[in-house]
Amino acid sequence: MSKRKPFIAGNWKMYKTSFEAVETARKLVRILKGINHVDIMIAPPFTALAAVYEVVKESSVMVGAQNLFWEKEGAYTGEISPGMIVSSGCRYVIIGHSERRQYFGETDCNVNKKIRAALNNSLVPVICIGETEKERDEGDTFNILDKQIKMGLEGFSPDDLKHVILAYEPVWAIGTGKTATSDQAQEVHRFLRSLIENLFGKKIAGSVRILYGGSVKPENIGELMLMPDIDGALVGGASLDAEKFAGIINFKI
């Protein structure tokens, strides 16, 4: 079990209208009443952020966005600025999700700019990294993660690192039902923590939260949370249902 406060986040991806998102958020607030040993965040689509915030603002559930653009404002059709996200009630933003990298061409350099923009606007970035199946099969997992971390976090100080959360999401485990075993995940989390120690020092490595993501469900969360370097989860599919997501948040180890 990790020494850090668990953080469990739900990434709703491109699911739920504003109405549906509000319904799920209402259920979640009802079920999770009184829970404060876990930090809880949900990331609905942009169109539902403000409405969901109104529902959860008095509860322990916090709201995050799934992406942002780094510019303050301008002629960037279809993009959303950090200020817009903050004004919708968000405290968090997911950055560099593998689906953004895979389908929208997001690079480590984009990720770096987005992290900077988030921090400049007091948003906590949840920074996603992870290897594909091919990269794992070729024995490249640690090289890939090393590159994603070094490029994504280039130019940041230990002080900046106090306000970020990392999420290890092996691409082959996202939405596939194939979870990394808790030992596989722990091995990578330990590697990531030692990489952070080399780059930013022991103190930051000891405090930074590293989440696991990829087919997390109520049935496997307990065993993942037993691991000393796993501090929580970034949940996709299973976060769309309030009861299932609450089952993850109420994990027993």
Using CB under 6 A, list all residues that contact ligand PGA. Answer: 11, 169, 174-175, 213-216, 234-238
* Cβ at position 172, least distance to ligand PGA in Å: 10
- Reply yes or no on whether 163 is catalytic: no
- Tell me phi and psi for residue 209, to 5 degrees: -90, 135
Q: Judging by beta carbons within 10 Å of its beta carbon (0-12, 13-18, 19+), is residue 187 exposed, middle or buried?
A: middle
In the annotation, is 71 catalytic?
no
- Residue 172 or 200: the one with the smaller Cβ distance to ligand PGA is 172
Closest distance to ligand PGA from the beta carbon of 74 (Å) = 29
Least Cβ distance, residue 239 to ligand PGA (angstroms)? 7
Q: Which residue is nearest to ligand PGA (CB)?
A: 236
Q: How far apart are the first and last CA of the chain?
A: 8
- For residues 104 and 95, the answer to whether their CB atoms sit within 8 Å is no
Cα–Cα distance for residue pair 110/79, rounded to 1 Å:
14
The set of residues, in sequence order, having a beta carbon less than 8 Å from that of 187 and lying 6+ positions away, is: none
Task: Tell me whether residue 96 or residue 214 sits nearer to ligand PGA (CB atom).
Answer: 214
Residue 201 CB, shortest distance to ligand PGA, in Å, is 28
User: Active-site residue among 106, 131, 135, 169?
Assistant: 169
Which among 97, 99, 131, 189 is annotated as catalytic?
97
Shortest distance, position 176 Cβ to ligand PGA, whole Å: 7
Following CA atoms 115, 151, 235, 170 in sequence, which dihedral angle do they give, to the nearest 10 degrees?
Answer: 170
- Residue 202 has, within 13 A of its CA and on its CB side, a CA count of 0
Nearer to ligand PGA, 89 or 213 (CB): 213
Nearer to ligand PGA by Cβ, of 11 and 67: the residue is: 11
Torsion angle, CA of 29/175/165/212, rounded to 10 degrees?
100
Query: Which single residue is written with the structure tokens 């480590």?
Result: 108
Nearer residue to ligand PGA within complex by CB, 88 or 215: 215
Alpha carbon distance 232, 77 (integer Å): 35
CA dihedral of 61, 63, 66, 68, whole degrees rounded to 10? -160
Residue burial 148-157, b: 16+ Cβ < 10 Å; e: rest: bbeebbeebe
Nearer to ligand PGA, 181 or 198 (CB): 181
Which residues are tagged catalytic? 97, 169
